[in-house]
């Protein structure tokens, strides 16, 4: 929008605009509370999402409210920090101006803290058919999709088609992939057989695919080895040094 953002406090302080209220943006804004700066924090949501626990929402271990925190409450009694729910659209560096969907805002300093998005490596089919997990809504979609698949599987006589609905393939052996694989295996081993006694969960595979030579590559070798051993004890199938080439919504094509 080509109108200035309305109702911003007029403070005679250098203005810092922070785009994104994830871990980095929120931490910075809190560090600058009551300092000699005016801080404008922008995010497309009015709450902070604790990303490490998305897998718990996806597997019904936690409700979304348990990992979502209202941003405005964080900045009670901090007159130099203002939050606005907005989506950044473009930056005009010549005028030090940020344009959003609710108006533009001028800044002295601009901080980009938008976080990460799912990398599909240019693979269109995977982008269209797979399910990312970078937000509470996506985690809830995974939860609902799993339940929907099992409800459908009960009504399918063909065993092979039933297996396809029950199997779960997770791509990426970082912390989130490892946690999600473990949670899915525990559900398969302990919970789903009670909820769906008509289904044979020995037919359900939980597969974790990692392109690198080990799990938890950003951590110590011992951590990766322990994670692998634990997941294997839960009967998770782990495929290392394996890349996913394609996914059509039913079949995962891999390359070793």
* CATH of residue 79: 3.50.50.60
Check whether residue 86 and residue 150 sit in a common domain.
no
Check whether residue 106 and residue 128 sit in a common domain.
no
Check whether residue 134 and residue 210 sit in a common domain.
yes
pLDDT tops 90 at residue 117: no
Check whether residue 244 and residue 145 sit in a common domain.
yes
Active-site residue flag, 128:
no
Number of domains observed in the structure of the chain: 2
Q: Record the pTM.
A: 0.85
Spatial distance between the Cα atoms of 224 and 163, rounded to a whole number of angstroms: 29
Judge whether 9 lies within some domain: no
Check whether residue 132 and residue 248 sit in a common domain.
yes
Q: Which of 112, 147, 175 is the last residue of a domain?
A: 112
Question: For 158-195, how does the pLDDT look when each residue is reduced to its tens digit (9 = 90+)?
Answer: 988 998 899 999 999 999 999 999 999 999 999 999 99
Spatial distance between the Cα atoms of 16 and 143, rounded to a whole number of angstroms: 38
Alpha-carbon distances, residue 193 vs 160, 167, 190, 201, 215 (angstroms): 18, 14, 7, 7, 28
Domain of residue 155 covers 124-255
* Residue 52's pLDDT band (cuts 50, 70, 90): very high
Q: Pick the catalytic residue: 87, 151, 160, 179?
A: 179
Q: For residue 14, what pLDDT is reported? A: 97
Give percent above pLDDT 70 in the chain.
100
Check whether residue 204 and residue 129 sit in a common domain.
yes
Crossing angle of helices 175-186 and 221-233, rounded to 10°: 20
Contact 124, 245 (CB under 8 A): no
Q: Which three-class secondary structure state does DSSP give residue 153?
A: helix
pLDDT tops 80 at residue 236: yes
Q: Which of 54, 88, 112 is the last residue of a domain?
A: 112
């Amino acid at each position: 929008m080509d109108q200035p953002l309305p109702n911003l406090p007029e403070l005679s302080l250098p203005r810092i605009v922070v785009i994104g209220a994830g871990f980095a943006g929120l931490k910075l804004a809190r560090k600058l509370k009551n300092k000699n700066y005016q801080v404008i924090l922008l995010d497309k949501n009015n709450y902070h999402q604790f990303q490490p626990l998305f897998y718990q929402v996806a597997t019904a271990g936690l409700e979304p409210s348990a990992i979502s925190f209202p941003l405005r409450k964080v900045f009670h009694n901090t007159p130099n920090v203002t939050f606005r729910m907005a989506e950044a659209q473009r930056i005009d560096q010549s005028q030090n101006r940020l344009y959003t969907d609710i108006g533009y805002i001028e800044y002295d300093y601009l901080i980009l803290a938008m976080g990460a998005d799912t990398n599909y490596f240019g693979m269109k089919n995977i982008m269209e058919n797979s399910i990312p997990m970078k937000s509470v809504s996506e985690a809830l979609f995974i939860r609902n999709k799993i339940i929907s698949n099992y409800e459908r599987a009960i009504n399918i006589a063909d065993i092979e088609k039933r297996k396809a609905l029950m199997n779960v393939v997770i791509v990426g052996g970082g912390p989130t992939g490892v946690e999600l694989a473990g949670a899915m295996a525990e559900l398969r081993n302990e919970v789903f057989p009670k909820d769906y006694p008509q289904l044979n969960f020995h037919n359900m595979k939980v597969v974790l695919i990692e392109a690198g030579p080990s799990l938890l590559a950003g951590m110590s070798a011992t951590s990766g080895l322990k994670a692998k051993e634990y997941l294997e004890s839960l009967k998770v199938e782990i495929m290392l040094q394996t890349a996913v080439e394609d996914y059509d919504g039913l079949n995962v094509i891999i390359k070793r």
